[in-house]
Copies of this chain bind each other. A is one copy, B any other.
Amino acid sequence: MKKIHLLLLMFFISTVLFAQEKINVVVIGAHPDDCDIDAGGTAIEFARAGHNVLFVSLTNGDAGHFSKGGGALAKIRRAEAQEAGKRFGVKYIVLDNHDGELMPTLDVRLNVIRLIRQWNADVVIGPRPNDYHPDHRNTATLIQDAAYMVIVPNIAPDTPPLKKNPVFLYTEDNFQKPYPFQPDIVVDITDAFDQKIYSMAAHESQFFEWLPWTSGKLDEVPKTEKERLKWLANWRKPRINDKERQALVKWYGEDRGNQIKYAEAFEICEYGSQPTDDEIRKLFPMLKK
């Protein structure tokens, strides 16, 4: 059961882990690898500082492959996610919904609400509702639909509500309509980049099989792990655009802000708590001038 290990963890070490200075972050993606791509570096920064990060994949990834599928593929994807979680230093939960068939139902929404509550989330991170993949768009809708409802006690009454609506953040995308992504918070992940790539690489069936296949470069995938990491790093290194550079300067100061090599950007969703800059600095302690 996906929620088990998480709960075990919570049971034993909640008094330790969720002590007052700890920040609890939930990253939600559609597929086992989406959280990694969109917020993996930031997750590493949180984890290194002792905060608690949960990755959730709303589908079990049982469709995205050219030669495997179904429950058989779901088991591979789940194992890869467990390994990735270890490398990132986060807890990784894979829900058992069909890949490519995620719909914004009340059932899935309630499970998202439960997970956010159980992690006692301060920050929830996920995609914007505009993206190329319907599962991504529906993931965004499901997260939006969980915002605010996480504090309503009669909704999912089996799980105690949060005291406060978390800050909800969107991860970066390149879509311009109906409006372009706005990098409100940008995190320096330069130091975390190698670990991010190494952690992502745990999703072998994604990064070395399925995604190269869809890009027509399956035959380019190197054979050795070392070369694979290099190849993946090259393929997946994020570029920093002007607005993001500006934000980096805002959050890290002129000097560091201009030198940062790799970053992950986030937009504040209007349906969660609206943090001030000071509150952002508390929630994202790595933002330091």
Interface residues of A (CB under 8 A from B): 1-4, 7-8, 11, 60, 62-75, 78, 94, 96, 98-101, 103, 106-107, 109-110, 114, 118, 130-134, 137, 144-145, 147-149, 151-159, 175-179, 214, 270-271
Contact = CB atoms under 8 A, between A and B. Distances in A.
A251 to B, nearest CB: 21
A154 B2 CA distance: 16
Nearest to A73: B70
Given A103-B106, A178-B178, A155 B71 contact: yes
Contacts of A179: 177-179
Contacts of A149: 100, 133-134
In this complex, which of A68, A78, A114 has the most chain B Cβ atoms within 10 angstroms of its Cβ? A68
A78 B158 contact: yes
Nearest to A117: B1
A28 to B, nearest CB: 16
A271 to B, nearest CB: 5
A111 B7 CA distance: 18
Contacts of A176: 270
A62 B72 contact: no
Q: How many copies does the complex hold?
A: 6
A62 to B, nearest CB: 6
Nearest to A170: B177
20 contacts: A1-B114, A3-B4, A4-B7, A7-B7, A8-B8, A60-B157, A65-B154, A70-B71, A71-B153, A74-B158, A78-B158, A96-B157, A99-B154, A100-B154, A137-B145, A175-B270, A176-B270, A177-B178, A177-B179, A178-B178
Interface SS, A side: loop
Nearest to A106: B101
A166 B62 CA distance: 24
A80 to B, nearest CB: 14
Nearest to A109: B134
Contact of A158 (B1, B107, B110): B1
B1 A62 contact: no
Most central of A70, A106, A114, A175 by chain B CB within 10 Å: A70
Contacts of A177: 178-179, 270
Contacts of A107: 107
Contact of A72 (B154, B155, B175): B154
Given A2-B158, A159-B1, A270-B176, A63 B74 contact: no
B157 A75 contact: yes
